[in-house]
Structure 1
Amino acid sequence: MKSTSTLLAPEEEFPTALSELPVLEIHVLHSRVCRQLDHEYLTDPAGAHPVTLDRHHELVAELDDRDAA
């Protein structure tokens, strides 16, 4: 899942099992998705893409689960 982009567009691949990834990869994904959200909110009057929002929620839930463990 190597990419040179700092964004993660909705059509790009996203892992299905976040719990299997190292925490560093989760943080990188979270950063890329947050940057994508910023980009979408700033460039699309309709707001963020539903896929990007879902990915953000999944990543936040995974990070919260790891903090609670």
Structure 2
Amino acid sequence: MEVDARAPGFIAFAGDGGGEVFAFDNAGAIFLLPMIGMGMEPEAAMPVAADFLELCRGFQRE
């Protein structure tokens, strides 16, 4: 992957199977980064969760 070179400050940890990756920023927040089109530019990152615990809570049934 080219995340280090094209989106510095992000560490990818999973893909969604549709051309995007989930990535941590330096503070531990989670973002969705496009792998195509805009090409993983940091400005294209979409916030998903403040941290991994918040992301996991989103999977729990209420």
- Same fold (TM > 0.5): no
The TM-score with structure 2 as length reference comes to 0.25
The structure that is helix-richer by fraction is 1
Greater strand content: 2
Greater CA radius of gyration, 1 or 2? 1
Greater relative contact order structure (CA < 8 Å, 6+ sep): 1
